């Protein structure tokens, strides 16, 4: 087995590095098989590097840059630095064996995002969940999970929320179906605490919260929840994440990103204004 690369959940920088290396190989007119034959790097490893599934060690990256004729020292230094910066979040490492790969990938992208547009039909968005609500949701959704697995997922969900408190906080625009307010997750006490947390979160200038009322009828979000995220560097294209019983999916094609961005605009239009949405949430909290 080629040990020149280490498997890790993709990060934004690793995704960018993979795209750069694909482009350089294409510009050099080489197939993966040809590169493998001429450098000794395993074809499967090249595939994993070019699809952001592994981070190349420095010697592997240098060998590829040599093969692709990258002689400009500034360009070489830029790509080596990009690889070095592509390491996964340190706090995630203890959970690596417990969390699904796709979820790890999502967390890595979310941590580097500039903004997140999140639609949820049945749950409060993970970035806004209280610990008690998160525990109740995870326990209900994963009935076969052990106590330690549940605790690990709760810990990770809480730690993800640090992105909303950093110096330049993540900008979150969340649209919820009213159903998420009426599903009494964890019992009335837990749900009341969660709704009060939503009200506090919405007071932050980087958080916008809207609710689609039942009377809005059918709307484009009914097939399922999704996230559209963008990143600070224009070199990193927007990304869509969808979550369903069939599995998690990342969409990167421009057409897919545009489609989900347009769907989110329709959901914003169908929802109550942020002020009216907070009135709805407050009224529901008083009922509990």
Q: How confident is the model at residue 9 (pLDDT cuts 50, 70, 90)?
A: low
**Residue 123: which region, alpha, beta or left (left: phi > 0; alpha: psi -120 to 50)?**
beta
CA dihedral sign of residues 102, 104, 110, 113: negative
Q: In the predicted model, what is the mean pLDDT of residues 55-62? A: 87
Q: How confident is the model at residue 89 (pLDDT cuts 50, 70, 90)?
A: low
Radius of gyration of the CA atoms of the chain, in A: 22
Q: Would you list the domain boundaries of the chain?
A: 5-84, 90-287
Which residues contact residue 201 at a Cβ distance below 8 angstroms, ignoring those fewer than 6 apart? 128, 164, 207, 209
Question: What pLDDT score does 75 carry?
Answer: 87
pLDDT higher than 70, residue 1:
no
Average pLDDT, the chain: 89
Question: What pLDDT score does 87 carry?
Answer: 64
Q: What is the pTM of this model?
A: 0.79
Cα–Cα distance, 190 to 134 (Å, whole number): 10
Cα–Cα distance, 209 to 256 (Å, whole number): 24
- Convert the pLDDT of each residue in 96-109 to its tens digit: 777 887 888 888 88
Question: What pLDDT score does 2 carry?
Answer: 44
Return the CATH class of domain 5-84: mainly alpha
- Convert the pLDDT of each residue in 218-227 to its tens digit: 999 999 999 9
Q: In the predicted model, what is the mean pLDDT of residues 52-58? A: 83
Right CATH number for 90-287 from 3.30.70, 1.10.287, 3.30.870, 3.30.1180? 3.30.870
- Convert the pLDDT of each residue in 126-157 to its tens digit: 999 999 999 999 999 999 999 999 999 999 99
Q: In the predicted model, what is the mean pLDDT of residues 70-78? A: 88
pLDDT higher than 50, residue 116:
yes
Top pLDDT among 71 and 93 is at 71
Which residues contact residue 209 at a Cβ distance below 8 angstroms, ignoring those fewer than 6 apart? 128, 174, 176, 198, 201, 202, 274, 277, 278, 281
Tokens of 257: 């990103």
Q: Are 87 and 58 in contact (CB under 8 A)?
A: no
Q: How far is CA 70 from the centre of its chain?
A: 32
Question: What pLDDT score does 82 carry?
Answer: 76
Tokens of 18: 């993979």
Q: Are 12 and 109 in contact (CB under 8 A)?
A: yes
Top pLDDT among 175 and 99 is at 175
Q: CA of 213: how far to CAs of 180, 182, 203, in Å?
A: 10, 11, 21
Cα–Cα distance, 117 to 260 (Å, whole number): 10
Tokens of 148: 């330690």
| Segments of 88-221 assigned E as strands | 115-120, 171-177, 207-212
**Helices and strands of the chain, counted as H and E runs:** 12, 8
Total residues found in the chain within this entry: 288
Question: What pLDDT score does 79 carry?
Answer: 87
Cα–Cα distance, 256 to 253 (Å, whole number): 5
How many CB atoms sit inside 10 A of residue 225's CB?
20
């Amino acid at each position: 087995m080629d040990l020149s690369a280490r498997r890790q959940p993709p990060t934004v920088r690793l995704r960018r590095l993979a795209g750069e290396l694909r482009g350089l190989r294409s510009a050099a007119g080489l197939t993966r098989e040809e590169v493998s034959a001429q450098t000794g790097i395993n074809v499967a490893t090249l595939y994993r590097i070019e699809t952001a599934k592994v981070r190349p060690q420095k010697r592997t990256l240098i060998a590829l840059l040599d093969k692709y004729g990258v002689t400009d020292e500034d360009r070489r230094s830029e790509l080596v630095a990009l690889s070095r910066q592509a390491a996964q979040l340190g706090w995630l490492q203890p959970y690596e064996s417990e969390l699904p790969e796709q979820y790890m990938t999502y967390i890595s992208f979310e941590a580097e995002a500039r903004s997140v547009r999140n639609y949820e039909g049945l749950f409060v968005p993970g970035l806004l969940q209280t610990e008690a609500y998160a525990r109740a949701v995870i326990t209900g959704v994963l009935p076969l999970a052990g106590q330690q697995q549940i605790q690990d997922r709760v810990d990770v969900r809480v730690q993800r929320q640090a992105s909303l408190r950093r110096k330049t906080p993540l900008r979150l625009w969340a649209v919820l179906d009213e159903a998420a307010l009426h599903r009494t997750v964890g019992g009335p006490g837990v749900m009341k605490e969660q709704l009060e947390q939503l009200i506090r979160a919405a007071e932050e200038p980087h958080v916008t919260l809207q609710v689609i009322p039942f009377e809005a009828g059918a709307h484009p979000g009914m097939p399922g929840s999704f996230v559209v995220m963008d990143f600070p560097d224009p070199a990193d294209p927007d990304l869509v994440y969808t979550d369903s019983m069939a599995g998690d999916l990342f969409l990167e094609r421009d057409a897919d990103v545009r489609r989900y961005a347009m769907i989110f605009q329709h959901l914003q239009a169908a929802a109550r204004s942020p002020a009216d949405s907070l009135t709805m949430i407050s009224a529901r909290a008083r009922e509990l």
